[in-house]
Amino acid sequence: AQSVTQLDSQVPVFEEAPVELRCNYSSSVSVYLFWYVQYPNQGLQLLLKYLSGSTLVKGINGFEAEFNKSQTSFHLRKPSVHISDTAEYFCAVIRDDKIIFGKGTRLHILP
């Protein structure tokens, strides 16, 4: 089974609208969860992480994610997107001490 699943390969959203990018993880992996962002022609950078504690995690650029153990989910949200949020977003988990990435969700901001 996939360690981490991102159900949406692309998400179009209008500027200033809210967005949610979905991520589900396998119950067989550790509950260390991450979201990374990749802007065009760049490497990835960390957006936020959940290691323990509060299930609502705040990251950079106004993004937040909620860890839901019962639903094995770690969805990423932003209340109002900006054109500069155009990027690909990757959910990641730890499996056997290695960071395993989902297939990514490309966020398209519509004017």
Partner 1 sequence: NAGVTQTPKFQVLKTGQSMTLQCAQDMNHEYMSWYRQDPGMGLRLIHYSVGAGITDQGEVPNGYNVSRSTTEDFPLRLLSAAPSQTSVYFCATRIGISSYNSPLHFGNGTRLTVT
- Name residues whose C-beta falls within 8 Å of residue 40's C-beta, 6 or more positions apart in sequence: 86, 87
The nearest distance, CB 61 to partner 1, in angstroms, is: 15
Tell whether residue 70 is a contact of partner 1 (CB under 8 A): no
Among 11, 15, 49, 86, indicate the residue that binds partner 1 (CB under 8 A): 49
- As a whole number of angstroms, the distance between CA 22 and CA 75 comes to 5
The nearest distance, CB 32 to partner 1, in angstroms, is: 5
- As a whole number of angstroms, the distance between CA 104 and CA 98 comes to 18
Q: Which amino acid is at 101?
A: F
Contact characters 9-48, partner 1, x per CB under 8 A: x----------------------x-x-x----xxxxxx--
